[in-house]
Chain A
Amino acid sequence: MRTPRITGTAAFRLATAYALLFAISAAVLVAIFEFTISNYARHSLRTDVANEVQLLLRTAPGGQDAGVAQLVRERQRALGSQEFHYLVFGRTGGVLAGDLPIASARSGWSEIEIPAPAESREFSGETDEIRTLGAILPGGGMLVVGRSTYAFHELRETMMSTTIFAGVLVGLLSMGAAILVGWRFLARIDRVNAAAVRIMEGRLDERLPTIGMGDEFDRLSASLNAMLDRMQGLMEGLRQVSSDIAHDLRTPLTRLRRRLEEALIDEGANPDRDALVHEALGQIEEILATFSALLRIAQVEGGSGSQAFGPVNLSELMDRVRQIYEPVAEDEGKQLSAQIAPGLTIDGDEGLLAQLISNLVENAFVHAPSPGKVVLSATADGPRAVIAVADNGPGVPEEEREKVVRRFYRLDSSRTTPGAGLGLSMVQAIAQLHHAELELADNGPGLVARVSFPRLASAKLEN
């Protein structure tokens, strides 16, 4: 069986989709983050620059050009060139202090590019963007304070590269996870597939391994295995029936063939040909009856009959069967008695239930020696209705009790009694169809066959 490529597995596709979703959400998050940070940085830069201007104007004695210039020089010394850039411009047009070019001498907010300081320059000719605020001095000169946006750009760049790195990492990790999960999944599926192939090749006792990827998968393999159990049971039943038919119908067919051959050989000499033909017909009838019984058992085991279920008064049915068999019991020298609790109702098929009881009664008649005693009973046992047919015959040894419900199975001691060995198989099949349990027990002496049916709740009856 061909293993699908890993990229074709459901787990891989799911993981890829998740990775993509992660990447998109990360991008959106970064965009929002970046926007917020930039806004904040821009705002704080402006605040810092404006504060510096206010500070200089307020602190300079009299706000005179020279005073401001003096102060600026002090500030430059104290802070270095990293914090602020300045320009103090005299009324006469001369530069009194500062490091900004003349071009920046504009009042209000503006921007100017200057060559980047040597220590932070990454390539020659790199410029530094400075945000400036110019203010007219009371003495007629001008003060310009500026601050580099370099740090701000740096932050953005760092953020960008980090984001790309993280994105690639997340993508790779989720791809890896997808491949791992897909591979693990495939390995498990392959084990299940291999088991399925072995089953198909005829190893019907083989079962699927647990998939083991969580409860739902384990439940799946458990149900599949239960299905295989059921199918194996059915197939074994089928196989048994076929061999049973082959074995057990050969005997009557062989007998029939002998009779017909005799009829042929004795032609003319045998005045009783009619009798032979009648006998042969009788044997065919018997064989056909066995076939019908087998078919019926198979149908009942297959669940047909349950469609026609309805409430059945088991007590009345039991009493009716007793009345039907009463004269038969008298003729056969058996004593038939009954103890039937009234009003036991179950859900079932009346015709099949009649056959169940009738088979049990006939079974008891056959095995109870004359003068035998056969006792029918029906009792309520909590939520169940239990019917029982007891005889005082030889009974069934405990180790044989499970076997006697098999088709054609007959105890050695009963080989001489009439019957094909299908009666109890039919009883078992009908009982199972009715979710009832058949139990064979010792009657000391004899056999008691009990069938315990689930009773129909009275509420259900009224509906």
Chain B
Amino acid sequence: MKVLVLEDEPDTAAYVKRGLSEAGHVVDVCTDGRDAFHLASDESYDVMIVDRMVPGMDGLKTVKSLRAAGVRTPVLFLTAVSGVGDRVEGLEAGGDDYLTKPFAFTELTARVNALARRPPISEVKTLLRAVDLELDLLKRTVTRAGRRIELKPQEFRLLEYLMLHAGQVVTRTMLLEHVWSFHFDPKSNIVESHMSRIRAKVDRGFGRDLIQTVRGAGYRIDADA
């Protein structure tokens, strides 16, 4: 997967590049907003990681210009700009996700993977599948191996997010942000509690656990056999 990193701080750029390269991605780094605009304007990258405060053209403006030019490459803002309204500003400029510095690398990889493999909007599915587990977004039903599973609304949302990213690691923060719109760090084990309830319903008595805990990173639901 090809990743473009727009980051003017050399340490961070090197750290991101090394980490993503080790994970098997091809990484280009540029330090100027205008360079990033030219490099990315032919949509040759799968994901862009953009710092907001860079010389030339700032990150926000770069993304706005790219979107205005019709470039749809997913963008992850990776920035120290972490004010209350800054996240919304980033997403409104055309960003797809927003991660604030300092960050854990597992968090960054998980989010980059989630963005890169996102299906195009035209192919929005109404039926999600993970091995023998099926989630019907229209009927709001879940079945495993043909057997109906009753989920509470919050549990349904959590499972939906996991299955949208089947085969990928989703972190605790990603779940808090996308499933419950919690953009802060709650002290309680919200994710763990909900996860244990979903597991009890989805995995117990089926002989195979679809939901995996990835140590130090998050959770993953198996995509296929």
List A residues at the B interface (Cβ < 8 Å). 278, 285, 288-289, 292-293, 295-296, 299-300, 304-305, 307-308, 320, 323-328, 330-332, 349-352, 354-355, 358, 362, 365-366, 418-419, 423
Contacts and interface: CB of A to CB of B under 8 A. Distances in A.
B82 A292 contact: yes
Given A296-B84, A331-B189, A324 B183 contact: no
A327 B194 contact: yes
A328 B189 contact: yes
B193 A327 contact: yes
B197 A419 contact: no
A418 B193 CA distance: 18
Contacts of A320: 180
B180 A324 contact: yes
Contacts of A324: 154, 180, 182, 190, 194
Contact of A304 (B83, B100, B185, B187): B83
Contacts of B88: 308
Give the 6 A-B CB pairs with smallest separation, nearest first: A327-B193, A305-B84, A328-B193, A328-B188, A304-B84, A355-B184
A351 B189 contact: no
26 contacts: A288-B102, A292-B100, A296-B184, A300-B84, A304-B83, A304-B84, A304-B85, A308-B85, A308-B88, A320-B180, A327-B190, A327-B193, A327-B194, A327-B196, A327-B197, A328-B188, A349-B84, A351-B184, A352-B84, A355-B182, A355-B184, A358-B182, A358-B184, A362-B188, A365-B188, A418-B187
Interface of B: 82-85, 88, 100, 102, 104, 152-154, 180-190, 193-194, 196-197, 216
Given A331-B193, A354-B181, A325 B188 contact: yes
Contacts of B180: 320, 324
A299 B84 contact: yes
A330 B196 CA distance: 12
A377 to B, nearest CB: 20
A299 B83 CA distance: 7
Most B Cβ at <10 Å: residue of A296, A327, A330, A358: A327
Contact of A323 (B82, B154, B184): B154
Contacts of B197: 327
B52 to A, nearest CB: 16
B189 A323 contact: no
Contacts of B187: 362, 366, 418-419, 423
Nearest to A281: B104
A355 B186 CA distance: 8
Given A320-B180, A355-B182, 13 more contacts: A278-B216, A323-B153, A324-B182, A328-B193, A331-B193, A349-B84, A351-B183, A351-B184, A352-B84, A355-B184, A358-B186, A362-B188, A419-B187
A362 B193 CA distance: 14
B185 A289 contact: yes
Given A305-B84, A308-B88, A351-B181, A323 B190 contact: no
A84 to B, nearest CB: 101
Nearest to A331: B193
Nearest to B188: A328
Contacts of A423: 187
Nearest to B185: A289
B187 to A, nearest CB: 5
A296 B188 CA distance: 19
Contacts of B182: 324, 354-355, 358
A433 to B, nearest CB: 9
Nearest to B177: A351
A320 B153 CA distance: 10
Nearest to B155: A327
B190 to A, nearest CB: 6
A297 to B, nearest CB: 10
Contacts of A289: 185
Most B Cβ at <10 Å: residue of A278, A296, A330: A296
Given A323-B153, A323-B154, A331-B193, A362 B186 contact: yes
Nearest to A305: B84
A325 B194 CA distance: 9
A15 to B, nearest CB: 53
B217 to A, nearest CB: 13
Contact of A295 (B82, B153, B154, B194): B82
A323 B194 CA distance: 10
A451 to B, nearest CB: 17
B193 A330 contact: yes
Contact of B190 (A285, A300, A307, A328): A328
Nearest to B154: A323
Most B Cβ at <10 Å: residue of A278, A293, A351: A351
A325 B184 contact: no
Nearest to A419: B187
Nearest to A351: B183
A364 to B, nearest CB: 11
B193 A305 contact: no
A362 B182 CA distance: 14
Nearest to B197: A327
A289 B82 CA distance: 13
A413 B187 CA distance: 19
B190 A325 contact: yes
A293 B82 CA distance: 11
A307 B85 CA distance: 8
B201 to A, nearest CB: 12
A354 to B, nearest CB: 6
B156 to A, nearest CB: 11
A418 B88 CA distance: 31
A26 B88 CA distance: 70
Given A295-B82, A296-B84, A299-B83, A350 B181 contact: yes
Most B Cβ at <10 Å: residue of A304, A350, A419: A304
Nearest to A307: B85
A331 B184 CA distance: 22
